[in-house]
Amino acid sequence: MTLDLSSPMAAPSRGLSDAACRRIEAVLLPVLAILSGFAAFALFLAVQGHSPAEFASLVWRGGFGTAFSIANTLQRAAPLLLTALCVALPAQLGLVVIGGEGALVLGGLAAAAVGAALTGLSSAVGLGAMALAGALVGGFWIGLAGWLRHARGVNETIASLLLSYIAIALFNHIVEGPLRDPASLNKPSTAPLPAEFRIGTLPGIDVHWGFAVGVLACLVSAFVIRRTTFGFAARIAGGNARAAAVQGLPVGRLVVAFAVAGGAAAGIAGMIDVAAVQGSANASLIAGTGYTGILVAFLARQNPLAILPMAILVGGIAAAGGLVQRRMGLPDATMLVLQGCLFLSILLSETLAGRLVPKALRAEASAR
């Protein structure tokens, strides 16, 4: 008996499987998007007569070049880890939620109000109550957008964006009205938190504990999505909601649950900002951190583990902003232009999804 080497069964395994192609694209697409965004921004600088090489050198020095700059970068990355999860978690269900800013400011306001009301209690009880308040308020706010999508068919992108504007208006009204500290004259704010309710820094580095909370949240989110039946059901529903419903999966409850989880992450980001940085709820909370989290989540392609390096990258760019302004004489909005270039490039890179690996390799893989 002879073996027919021309048979497909006997042919050597060549080519890449669909899963391998997806893994390759998951790495290459964000890298290409980042390089393309920086290239576009370099052209923007060159047209104005500024040196892209000098800009890159200053960004490296201001964001990653010294121990102080690294600490500053990690400090800025801390809330981005959580606001990016506000986008990435609902995205597992195919939702595009962009209202993290509203959940952050209301979560911070709730935490500040609870902290001021619990003066005299232990640090553990006070911080725990503040974190719970921030998570509940933020989760409710984004969960409302998820419920509107499930129950009424309202587009979650529009709903979450409009809810964010409402949240900011509500925040300003309460901070400047019912909860305003009479001692805050030029900058309206709530009553300052007691010293025992302030969050300290990590041992050996000048970075508050919020960074560790953000890292832990990303790790837990990745585990839930990849290693639990709950996360598996969400990914199935995100791939084809109708087929998931036919199979008996509770698509509606999953949509609301993941929206609530994302909002809770943003609400905790607001609580951390109040307890670790601001000391009270004031207008400084409305710093665009929720919107920057959208960029981080898209750069990470909604992968909680990839959010870690992307948040640090974007945090480093923000940390270098002051140095770039002083040395190159560029306006503060220059960093926003860079973020815009990155966001546009990551959106354009999605058109390459499924096309980045040559068709010949895919054809060989499918022929095995």
Write out the chain's pLDDT in tens, 368 residues: 454 544 444 444 456 666 676 777 777 888 888 999 999 999 999 999 999 999 999 999 999 999 999 999 999 999 999 999 999 999 999 999 999 999 999 999 999 999 999 998 999 999 999 999 999 999 999 999 999 999 999 999 999 999 999 999 999 999 999 999 999 888 999 999 999 999 999 998 999 999 999 999 999 999 999 999 999 999 999 988 888 888 889 999 999 999 999 999 999 999 999 999 999 999 999 999 999 999 999 999 999 999 999 999 999 999 999 999 899 988 888 888 999 999 999 888 877 776 666 655 554 544 44
Nearest to 323 by CA among 73, 44, 49, 36: 73
What is the b/e burial string over 6-36, where b = at least 16 CB atoms within 10 angstroms of the residue's CB?
eeeeeeeeebbeeeebeeebeeebbebbbeb
- Residue count (the chain): 368
3-state secondary structure of 360: helix
Give the count of beta carbons closer than 10 Å to the beta carbon of residue 203.
5
